[in-house]
Structure 1
Amino acid sequence: MNFDLKTLDLSGAVSEKCDLLVLLVPEGFQPGADALSTLVALALKNKDLETEPGKHLQLYHAPGIAARRVVLAGMGKGDARAVRQALAAIGPVFKAGAVKRAVVCLAGVVRPGAVASVVQNVAHASYVYTTTKPKAEARTLGRVVVGVADADGVADAFAHAVAVVAGVEYAREWGNRPANHATPALLADAAKALAKHPGVQCKVMGPAEVSRLGMGAFLAVARGSEEPLRFIELRYSGAAKTQAPVVLVGKGITFDTGGISIKPAPEMDEMKFDMCGAASVLGVFRALAELQPAINVVGLVPACENMPDGRAIKPGDVVTSMSGQTIEILNTDAEGRLILCDTLTYAARYKPAAVVDIATLTGACVIALGGVRSGMFATDDALADALLQAGEAADDLCWRLPLDEDYAEGLKSHFADVGNVAGRPGGAVTAAKFLQRFVGEFPWAHLDIAGTAWKSGAAKGATGRPVGLLVHYLLGQAAKVPARRAPKA
């Protein structure tokens, strides 16, 4: 889908020929002399329209307005969240089959975050998964014009949002794919495709290379599957080679049965989403390819299936991680931390400025935070603050949870250096404490996205989170990094 940014007041919006015109109306709306202003003022006066986000009024062939369909929608104070709520309430109009060109016009003074929210939420509302569905059901909305009073003042926010949408949709599409259409090998192919973009490189390793690296925990998880594992290494180079990179680590369990500690059958189909951490890393690199910021980023994705088989790891088995620490496998369904711990050890070779891992790791985090905020753990206050601020700016929220050492008590093992689970209480925290054992001296954060990476029920599907949060974080870091010098002619 294509987005355009245009300087457009209400008098101009009246003559925009399109299938759908959405006018976002703020509190304290000041009408002009045009037909659209007159219509809004009359609707507000008669209380057929309110400016509260979520309230809206739909019209067809309104007199004096060129658009075939018109939706007047309240956007409250006009911030990013209010815009999200406004567009969520009218989301189905963007999927209407006859709507191919839409104009979304924001009345009054517009904040950059509101423009970004329009782009991201129109894309979200109109997204249609197509990989394994008939092409006839593909998205019909092809072009969206975002109209504001001063396009120049919000151009950067608009460009960033368009890039984030490209990344989010890449992540959503791969997150939504069935496991037989998103095997470790196919996920690696998706990463290789990103290397066609400027500044992006990709390296993929198989079981033999991973074995030589000594990644015993990763190898143990993959043993029960006939699909061979892949270790994906992406690099984006936007700054000088001397600049330490930010390393993103994405959990890539392309299907999780739970292994020998098998999951209940109901809703097990949703375990195809257990690679949404990996998909978010791919999505971030898709956005970086568009934005080309002055920063170095490494993406690491351990990808495999967790299956029950005669060769699969068993509860009570002890494996040796790449760090040399031995791990007692008390529950084979706590497999994500096993593939991540070896990857965190591998990440140290980059001498990173920071490492952020992203994983659909624990049901306990869903209980704690639901689907509103991702759980965030960090060993470094500056990194934690930067991620929190990025989440607020992107309207892709997270919340910091504790890493008190007392939580590690339950991970003690009689037969290994550490057990892979510590019981039900504080499960999201103890999982993070397990990962922390494999982190070096570099700043580290862990994002548990089990509650935010996908939705169940009628809206079942991947969300593409936390691509927005991560891109905003990286752009903030890029602002502190000197740009890479162009080679001399």
Structure 2
Amino acid sequence: MKKPRVDIALGSADAAQLSRQGADALVFLVSKDIQPGAGALSKLARAALDAGDLETQPGSVLMMYRPPGIGATRLILACIDDQSVAHVRAGIQAAIGLARSRSLGRLAIGFASDASAHALRTVVSAIFERTYVYAATKSAPETPPKVLEKVWIAARNAEALKPVLDRAIAIAEGVELARHWGDLPANHATPARLAEAAMALAKVPRFKCEVLGPQDIGKEGMRAFMAVAQGSAEPARFIVLRYEGARKSRPPVVLIGKGITFDSGGISIKPSEGMDEMKYDMAGGASVLGAFQSLARLKPPINVIGLIPACENLPGTSAMKPGDVVSSLNGQTIEILNTDAEGRLVLCDALTYAERFRPAAVIDVATLTGACVVALGSVRSGLFATDESLASALLAAGEAAQDPCWRMPLDDAYAESLKSNFADVANLGGRGAGSVTAAKFLQRFAQKFPWAHLDIAGVAWNGGAAKGATGRPVGLLVEYLLATAQEP
């Protein structure tokens, strides 16, 4: 594995030791009730707060150049008030933004007291998030800042936090890989290139990768998947990633990621405004790649299968049409009422394909419905599950990873709107509860294993001036897998 982009180390130090640390800048995370101690750091922080130069609002920062008694060239005081996730994120992001504006390459970051596990995770994720720069398709950045190269994090309880740091870095790297593939334009992140990325991951020990092309997919009988792919000149790929970290007798967890590398809506074409963001419709597939990147770092004792059905959904001359009826891998027939409800068509065949692995659980991840955005916005993923213990584990993993989800219903009554006069099921329900009816469609193909569906349409990317992939829900998936690895 290649070295992490940012070299992050953890060491033990109190405020007095931290004040002597040499660096381009020392970031000191302080609460508004800090008391002046024997060292220069706490005295400077208390004086800045009393003078009003450092505001008490979390995220407020104050930079000093060569203050007396401080070994670093610059001191950045960042107010976090307490060690809650929101406060630590606000403080560290503001401090790193200030450091990057000065092109500083070496930072030391210290807490005024013992650091909690979630505070350390927040610092690491914020470092990666704030320093991620997309440049893959740019000839040259306009005004490139100096890359942040080394960060030393100091806490008095550092020894106890080392496992937390390792996990946080591994997850952050997985998130970054998912962001990279999400941000790539559709002409660069084609199904074939997505498959190449999976093959590259499989070059490390314990990993395997198999890629099915159009002929292989057809021979398997995945006609619902191929119906979506047939409108594009880009050939589809069905990616099968394997991580074998436990004995073969241990049933694997299967992760399925929707890999629609561009979604025009097909014949039921989308409005032109914002259609460029439909390159993010493969964010579920990207999150599976990101989770496997994290597994390569952490090597937990568990078996994991990753399935990514990848294709484009375009209105070509061979494209599926509203009213068409196609057969799925498990034999159920589907009436296509709307070609823009294509995600469930590729996922249903992937769910049936997953049966052959006799999985302990199957989790599919997809930017599936705009209805989920309306329901939950950009804060939480929508969680649907047929198994209570699986649902509870995913909810807990989301909280631990600071990547939360929310349990949604799966009442049988919601499936009524999916009835068809011409097939076993329609691919679209009525106007109401669109995220739920989409999940009810998928549930028909997930009867033979504990199953969960994560609708990430609201959380997978940001729009507007901050447009870009978020890498969610890589953190949630990895935390779940690590917790599962501890089970007998």
Question: Is residue 34–residue 42 contact of structure 2 (8 Å, CA) maintained in 1?
Answer: no
1:39 aligns with 2:44: yes
Match of 1:271 in 2: 278
Matched-pair contact (CA < 8 Å) for 2:106–2:148: yes
Which residue does the alignment assign to 1:356? 363
The one of 320, 333, 341 equivalent to 2:327 is 320
**Partners of 1:191 and 1:282 within 8 A in 2:** yes
The share of aligned pairs that are identical, in percent, is 57
Q: Is the 8 A contact 2:101 2:145 kept in 1?
A: no
CA RMSD of aligned residues (A): 1.4
- Unaligned 5+ segments in structure 1 are 482-489
Q: Distance between the aligned counterparts of 1:459 and 1:424, measured in 2?
A: 30
The structure 1 segments of at least 4 consecutive aligned residues displaced by more than 3 Å after TM superposition are: 88-91, 134-139
Q: Which moved more, 1:9-18 or 1:461-470?
A: 9-18
1:143 aligned onto 2:132: no
Q: What's the CA shift string for 1:419-456, capped at 9, x where partnerless?
A: 11112210111110110010023110000001111000
Match of 1:357, SS state, is strand
Aligned match for 1:16, one of 7, 12, 21:
21
TM-score by length of 2: 0.96
Report the counterpart of residue 79 of structure 1 in structure 2. 84
Residue 177 of structure 1 aligns with an amino acid whose one-letter code is L
Question: What CA distance in whole angstroms lies between the structure 1 residues aligned with 2:370 and 2:100?
Answer: 32
Match of 1:446 among 439, 443, 453: 453
- For structure 2, which runs of at least 5 residues remain unmatched after alignment? 1-5
Q: Which moved more, 1:106-115 or 1:156-165?
A: 106-115
- What is the count of residue pairs matched by the alignment? 481
State whether structure 2 residue 403 is matched by structure 1 residue 396. Answer: yes
1:262 positional shift: 0.6
Other-structure match for 1:115: 120
Code of the residue aligned with 1:48 in structure 2: it is D
SS at match of 2:199: helix
Distance 1:376 1:177, change over 3 A: same
Q: CA deviation at 1:35?
A: 1.4
Q: Deviations over 1:240-288 (max 9, x none)?
A: 1100000000000000110001111111110000000000000000000
Instruction: Provide the residue aligned with 1:461 in structure 2.
Output: 468
Give the structure 1 partner of residue 430 of structure 2: 423
Distance 1:336 1:91 in 2: 38
Give the distance between the partners of 2:20 and 2:97, measured in 1 at CA: 24
SS in 1 for 2:187: helix
User: Residues 73-222 of structure 1 correspond to what in structure 2 (within 5 A)?
Assistant: 73-96=78-101, 98-136=103-141, 137=144, 140-222=147-229
Amino acid at match of 1:43: A
Are residues 138 and 28 of structure 1, via their aligned partners in 2, closer, same or farther at CA, if it must alter by over 3 Å?
closer
String of CA shifts for 1:20-48, please: whole Å, max 9, x gaps.
Answer: 22111135424321111110111222333
What is the Cα deviation at residue 139 of structure 1?
6.5
Q: How far apart are residue 60 of structure 1 and its match? A: 2.8
* 2:256 paired residue among 239, 249, 252: 249
The aligned counterpart of 1:486 is: none
Offset of 1:204 from its aligned partner? 0.5
What per-residue deviation string (whole Å, max 9, x for no partner) do you get for residues 186-219 of structure 1?
A: 0000000001122111110101111011001000
Is the Cα–Cα contact under 8 Å of residues 29 and 108 in structure 1 kept in the other structure? Answer: no
Deviates more, 1:235-244 or 1:62-71: 62-71
- Classify the secondary structure of the residue corresponding to 2:208: strand
Deviation at 1:135, TM superposition (A): 4.9
Residues 1:437 and 2:448 are matched in the alignment: no
Match of 1:337 in 2: 344
Deviation readout 1:333-352 (Å, 9 max, x if unpaired): 11111000000000011110
2:18 equivalent to 1:6: no
> Which stretch has the larger CA shift, 3-12 or 138-147?
138-147
**1:484 alignment partner in structure 2:** none
Contact in 1 for aligned 2:103/2:145 (Cα 8 Å): no
Instruction: Give the alignment's TM-score, normalised by structure 1.
Output: 0.96
In 2, the alpha carbon distance for the partners of 1:404 and 1:93 equals 50
